[in-house]
Amino acid sequence: MMGGMKDVPMLTQLNIVVSDMARTLAFYRRLGWSIATPTPDHAVAHLTNGLSVEFDTREFVPVWDSGYQGGSGGTTVIGIGVRSRAAVDALYADLVAAGHHGRQPPYDAFWGSRYAIVEDPDGNPVGLMSPSDESARSAPPSKPPTS
């Protein structure tokens, strides 16, 4: 078991395997991310909170992961924080209008945030969430609304 807080591993990098680099980068750039593209098979966004999000083509992954089994997309939700409830609605509408699949329309979530999910080009769910408002909290519903 690890000792004090200084020994706790920190999330510093997230690698996303992509099937179409251009489409993926266009999606994440719509979020306002600045993304460097050192090679056609690898790109990186250094976010202001210190996290690096790296994008790699399926063909490039075996260069650094000998156990890679192929494929892209998944069920891990990539959480994106936005500044306001209205920003969730606006960003969701913008991404859906650009042709991306809206998986969960914006709604006032039980934990007090405005929340929506849109899929990136590889089907990775991207959660769009406003700051939580304590006055908007409620008991969890049986399932989120569909519209």
pLDDT digits (tens, 9 = 90+) for 28-55: 999 999 999 989 999 999 999 999 999 9
* Helices and strands in the chain: count of H runs, count of E runs: 3, 8
53's enclosing H/E stretch is: strand 52-57
Q: For 55-78, what is the mean pLDDT?
A: 85
Are the beta carbons of 80 and 45 closer than 8 angstroms? Answer: no
> Above 80 in pLDDT, residue 7?
no
Q: Sketch out the chain's domains with CATH numbers.
A: 8-59 (3.10.180.10), 73-147 (3.10.180.10)
Residue 25 structure tokens: 């980068």
How many Cα atoms occupy the beta-carbon half-sphere of 119 within 13 Å?
13
Q: What is the predicted pLDDT for the residue at 1?
A: 47
Q: What is the predicted pLDDT for the residue at 11?
A: 86
**CA distance linking residue 115 with residue 92, whole number of Å:** 9
**CA distance linking residue 64 with residue 129, whole number of Å:** 32
Q: Amino acid identity, residue 3?
A: G
